[in-house]
């Protein structure tokens, strides 16, 4: 099996960019990643591209060749869709392609553009990640679904809205100075608790924003990196994917995420690491409760124990286990199809030492990216390690 190195990583700014097209956004992210890698475009063997709602928001299917053209490559290109985990699934496919020896260089990326349509239309597109028959038609929205999960968690394990607020405050603070983050401003616990309620117990600041943006990275085989003298010190050493029932009503528990648990188990075993080896993470915090559930699903906390991880400072910038140093989906933003790739872009920079928050983790060598789709009906987990 061939080792996989990350030779280049790049993202656009995450923002509201209704004036830009999806191909424009992805072309920029791809250019940054390719230039960062030092790999000639002609050497790229494959494009694995994540996008979820483009057929609704841009009326554009068949995006693979379109984005290959935008990136300036002629390699075979495929679009991957797994709701908010689309980017993570595209990344996993790219990793598997290099590992198998089928290719030496893969451009992996993702993009979403949703501010060019009304909020109602964007919400309609996002709702397609839920069970249409049993959830969407009954009026269940994702804020409502995650509110149900939060209420179930509070009932089973305890916790308060202030504990969830600490997650939002932490991630907004982490986004300060991240030039690509959508929200580069600090918020207080009071701001979170006094914000309008979206779906009790979740308020406005418990939710991530609608975002336009793109991310990309260049994966290469270790042999290619050595033969071309590339500076590719970060490797993808573990990759896992998990699935769960689409509708909440079909799950045994609303307080556990088996898709994450399964993906993590595979990824850790693949990399030969344990949860205790992890130095930092980027997890899928589409809502504040989602970060709590992710940390438990990843085996970093026992069920019921992650609710006060941010409150106690354990997952803050200066804590023992920094989580979402990029700002997370909460503050960095959530361009759906790009999110799973953007997490790896951020972690790569953090591990290389060229991220604005790298000083918080100077000795980090093992990182985890967790990307989830819907109410975690899909999940990918990737382990990144610094290798000489």
What the chain holds in terms of domains, given with CATH numbers, is 4-118+209-386 (3.40.47.10)
Task: Give residue for tokens 């230039």.
Answer: 35
The confidence score (pLDDT) of residue 124 equals: 86
Q: Across residues 261-274, what is the average pLDDT?
A: 98
The confidence score (pLDDT) of residue 205 equals: 98
Say whether 355 is catalytic. no
Find out whether 89 and 80 touch, Cβ atoms under 8 Å. yes
The confidence score (pLDDT) of residue 291 equals: 98
Instruction: Name residues whose C-beta falls within 8 Å of residue 209's C-beta, 6 or more positions apart in sequence.
Output: 182, 183, 333, 334
Say whether 84 is catalytic. yes
Task: Give residue for tokens 């997370």.
Answer: 328
Q: Across residues 309-335, what is the average pLDDT?
A: 98
* Residue 18: pLDDT band with limits 50, 70, 90: very high
The confidence score (pLDDT) of residue 123 equals: 87
Catalytic residue among 115, 334, 370, 382: 334
DSSP H or E run through 109: strand 105-112
Find out whether 241 and 89 touch, Cβ atoms under 8 Å. yes
Catalytic residue among 84, 208, 217, 286: 84
| Integer CA distances (angstroms), 170 to 9, 112, 167, 309, in order | 25, 25, 5, 11
What's the pLDDT tens digit per position in 187-209? 999 999 999 999 999 999 999 99
Please give the structure tokens belonging to residue 232: 């590719």
The confidence score (pLDDT) of residue 1 equals: 67
The confidence score (pLDDT) of residue 294 equals: 98
Q: Across residues 216-245, what is the average pLDDT?
A: 97
Among 297, 305, 306, 296, smallest CA distance to 242 is for: 297
DSSP H or E run through 63: helix 63-71
User: How many whole angstroms separate alpha carbon 282 and alpha carbon 45?
Assistant: 28
Q: Across residues 93-118, what is the average pLDDT?
A: 96
Instruction: Name residues whose C-beta falls within 8 Å of residue 199's C-beta, 6 or more positions apart in sequence.
Output: 141, 143, 144, 146, 147
Q: Across residues 100-104, what is the average pLDDT?
A: 97
* Residue 384: pLDDT band with limits 50, 70, 90: very high
Q: Across residues 169-184, what is the average pLDDT?
A: 97
The confidence score (pLDDT) of residue 206 equals: 98
Q: With a cut of 80, say whether residue 100 has pLDDT above it.
A: yes
DSSP H or E run through 227: helix 222-227
* Residue 2: pLDDT band with limits 50, 70, 90: confident
Q: With a cut of 90, say whether residue 387 has pLDDT above it.
A: no
List, in sequence order, every residue forming a beta bridge with 384; answer none if it has no partner.
236, 367
Find out whether 198 and 204 touch, Cβ atoms under 8 Å. yes
The confidence score (pLDDT) of residue 361 equals: 97
Q: Across residues 142-163, what is the average pLDDT?
A: 97
DSSP H or E run through 383: strand 378-386
Instruction: Name residues whose C-beta falls within 8 Å of residue 312's C-beta, 6 or more positions apart in sequence.
Output: none
pTM above 0.95, yes or no: yes
Average pLDDT, the chain: 97
> Per mean pLDDT, which range of 12-16, 63-67, 127-131 is the poorest?
127-131
């Amino acid at each position: 099996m061939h080792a996989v190195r990350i030779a280049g990583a790049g993202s656009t700014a995450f923002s509201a960019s209704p004036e830009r097209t999806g191909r424009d956004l992805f072309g920029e992210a791809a250019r940054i990643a390719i230039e960062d890698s030092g790999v000639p475009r002609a050497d790229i063997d494959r494009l694995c591209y994540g996008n979820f709602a483009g057929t609704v928001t841009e009326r554009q299917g068949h995006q693979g060749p379109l984005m290959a053209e935008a990136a300036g490559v002629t390699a075979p290109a495929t679009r991957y869709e797994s709701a908010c985990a689309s980017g993570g699934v595209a990344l996993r496919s790219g990793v598997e392609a290099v590992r198998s020896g089928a290719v030496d260089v893969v451009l992996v990326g993702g993009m979403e553009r949703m501010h060019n349509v009304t909020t109602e239309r964007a919400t309609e597109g996002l709702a397609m990640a839920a069970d249409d028959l049993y959830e969407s038609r009954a009026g269940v929205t994702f804020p409502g679904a995650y509110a149900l999960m939060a209420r179930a968690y509070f009932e089973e394990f305890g916790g308060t809205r202030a504990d969830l607020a600490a997650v939002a405050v932490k991630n907004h603070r982490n986004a300060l100075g991240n030039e690509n983050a959508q929200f580069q401003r600090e918020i207080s616990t009071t701001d979170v608790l006094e914000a309008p309620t979206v779906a009790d117990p979740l308020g406005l600041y418990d939710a991530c924003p609608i975002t336009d943006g793109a991310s990309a990275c260049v994966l290469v085989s270790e042999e290619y990196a050595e033969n071309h003298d590339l500076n590719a010190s970060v490797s993808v050493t573990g990759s896992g994917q998990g699935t769960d029932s689409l509708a909440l009503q079909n799950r045994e528990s609303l307080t556990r995420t088996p898709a994450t648990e399964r993906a993590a188990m595979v990824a850790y075993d693949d990399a030969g690491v344990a949860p205790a080896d992890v130095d930092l993470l980027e997890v899928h915090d589409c809502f504040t409760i989602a970060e709590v559930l992710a940390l438990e699903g990843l085996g970093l906390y026992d069920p019921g124990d992650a609710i006060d991880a941010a409150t106690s400072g354990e997952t803050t910038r200066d804590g023992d286990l920094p989580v979402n140093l990029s700002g997370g989906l909460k503050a960095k933003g959530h361009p759906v199809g790009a999110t799973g790739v953007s997490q790896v872009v951020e972690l790569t920079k953090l591990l290389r030492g060229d991220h604005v928050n790298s000083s918080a983790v100077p000795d980090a060598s093992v990182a985890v990216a967790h990307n989830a789709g819907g109410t975690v009906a899909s999940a990918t987990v990737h382990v990144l390690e610094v290798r000489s």
